[in-house]
Amino acid sequence: MRAAVLEMAGQALVVVDDVDIEEPGVGEVAVAVAHCGICHSDLSLIDGDLPPFTPVVLGHEAAGVVTAIGPGVTTLREGDHVVLTPCPPCGSCYFCIRGEWSICLNSRSLMTSAHPDGGTRLSRGGEVVYRGLGVAAFAETVITEANGAVKIPDDVPLDIACVLGCAVQTGVGAVLNTAKVREGDSMLVMGLGGVGLSVVQGGRLAAAATVIVSDPVAERRELAMKLGATHAIDPTVDDVVAACLDLTEHGVDVAFDAVGRNALIETGINATRFGGSTVLVGVAPLSESLTYPSATIFAATAKNILGCLLGSANSLREIPRLIDLWRGGQLDLESLITGHRPLAEINDAVDDLRASRGVRTVIDL
């Protein structure tokens, strides 16, 4: 099959047509990928900020059509339209039983670049090709656990639906599930890519009273204001912490780092009120260390740091809920998608992301 392969971190992706893919095994399905968004996590692996197993097929924000069913699968059938999720909840492990679905044992594939049994189902010339970020959707076909393909109505455009797989599920979930923002709360959102703009929309859904956004790109700040932000800050000009303290009585209730930079985490901690929370939504490079003058500040102020993987979401519930919100006009998915490119132009799409051009570029397969 055709796929974009990363052969080594720091290099361009190579589009090839000789990747072999196995048939779906027990509990698995094959999905023909129609569209896949390019996420900052993909870029982090391409650039080596998160060292990847190579060679690897990346891409984890995708939608498509089920083409084959493995033994034991009863929840899907051929022809079903689905959104793929990088953290399919098994429903029975220690974490799922505790309601912590996004850190289900299946989510370990984000780090191992393999299925739970250690296989990747992908090869090239007899050599293993890794399954990047739990999906490997920069390819014509994906093999996934049945719970990793969430059925959606046939009338939902697949190019619109694909952004639910990561950006929207993560951003909205960070607000509603991880931070549990309450009506009337105040928020700071740092970084306005697909995830950050979804955090903004999550704040609107939660009826947050004040949603302050910070991003150096003027067009993204303007879009954030249309999607529910109440105040926009250019961090290259203004002091974000000082602005938050000016706009709120004691500091914001919740700050979100939607980029993955330790400097933004520190800004979030300083911008939140006593007892407030800073939510780590983006993934910082492994080379960065988070330092703080003293841990005493957390004991003295009761401030919190919250980790957030895929919006703490149960994808089997979250994706249908997000579609219902979109149908009801409460969630804008179309504005997040600012470009389409064919697989042959995937490196141009990656460059768009590096340069912060647009918000989400979708690869059409």
SS3 string of the chain?
A: CCEEEECCCCCCCEEECCCEECCCCCCEEEEEEEEEECCHHHHHHHHCCCCCCCCEECCCEEEEEEEEECCCCCCCCCCCEEEECCCCCCCCCHHHHCCCHHHCHHHHHHHHCCCCCCCCCEEECCEECEEHHHCCCCECEEEEEHHHEEECCCCCCHHHHHHHHCHHHHHHHHHHHHHCCCCCCEEEEECCCHHHHHHHHHHHHCCCCEEEEECCCHHHHHHHHHHCCCEEECCCCCCHHHHHHHHCCCCEEEEEECCCCHHHHHHHHHHEEEEEEEEECCCCCCCCCCCCCCCHHHHHHCCEEEECCHHHCCHHHHHHHHHHHHHCCCCCCHHHEEEEEEHHHHHHHHHHHHCCCCCEEEEEC
**How far is residue 284's CA from residue 150's CA, in Å, rounded to a whole number?**
28
Q: Which two tokens stand for residue 180?
A: 């549990």
Residue 127, class by beta-carbon neighbours within 10 Å (0-12 exposed, 13-18 middle, 19+ buried)?
A: exposed
C-alpha closest to that of 332 among 203, 198, 208 = 198
Greatest CA separation for the chain: 62
Quick one: pLDDT at residue 290?
Answer: 78
C-alpha closest to that of 1 among 343, 348, 350 = 343
Q: Which two tokens stand for residue 220?
A: 């993204």
Distances (CA, A) of 332 to 57, 119, 164, 313: 29, 37, 11, 19
Quick one: pLDDT at residue 208?
Answer: 98
Quick one: pLDDT at residue 289?
Answer: 78
**How far is residue 178's CA from residue 282's CA, in Å, rounded to a whole number?**
13
C-alpha closest to that of 215 among 303, 351, 332, 227 = 227
Strands 130-131 and 56-57: parallel
Residues near 27 by Cβ (< 8 Å), separated by ≥ 6? 70, 71, 72, 73, 145, 146
**How far is residue 212's CA from residue 224's CA, in Å, rounded to a whole number?**
9
Contact 66, 149 (CB under 8 A): yes
- Tens of pLDDT along the chain (365 residues) come to 999 999 999 999 999 999 999 999 999 999 999 999 999 999 999 999 999 999 999 999 999 999 999 999 999 999 999 999 999 999 999 999 999 999 999 999 999 999 999 999 999 999 999 999 999 999 999 999 999 999 999 999 999 999 999 999 999 999 999 999 999 999 999 999 999 999 999 999 999 999 999 999 999 999 999 999 999 999 999 999 999 999 998 999 999 999 999 899 999 999 999 999 999 999 888 777 777 777 778 888 999 999 999 999 999 999 999 999 999 999 999 999 999 999 999 999 999 999 999 999 999 99
Contact 19, 129 (CB under 8 A): yes
**How far is residue 13's CA from residue 17's CA, in Å, rounded to a whole number?**
13
**Domains contained in the chain, CATH given:** 3-165+333-364 (3.90.180.10), 171-309 (3.40.50.720)
Distances (CA, A) of 270 to 114, 124, 178, 180, 275: 39, 49, 20, 20, 12
Quick one: pLDDT at residue 270?
Answer: 95
pTM: 0.96
Residues near 63 by Cβ (< 8 Å), separated by ≥ 6? 33, 34, 35, 36, 81, 82, 83, 84, 152, 158, 159, 161, 162, 164, 165
**Share above pLDDT 90 across residues of the chain, in percent, rounded to a whole number:** 93
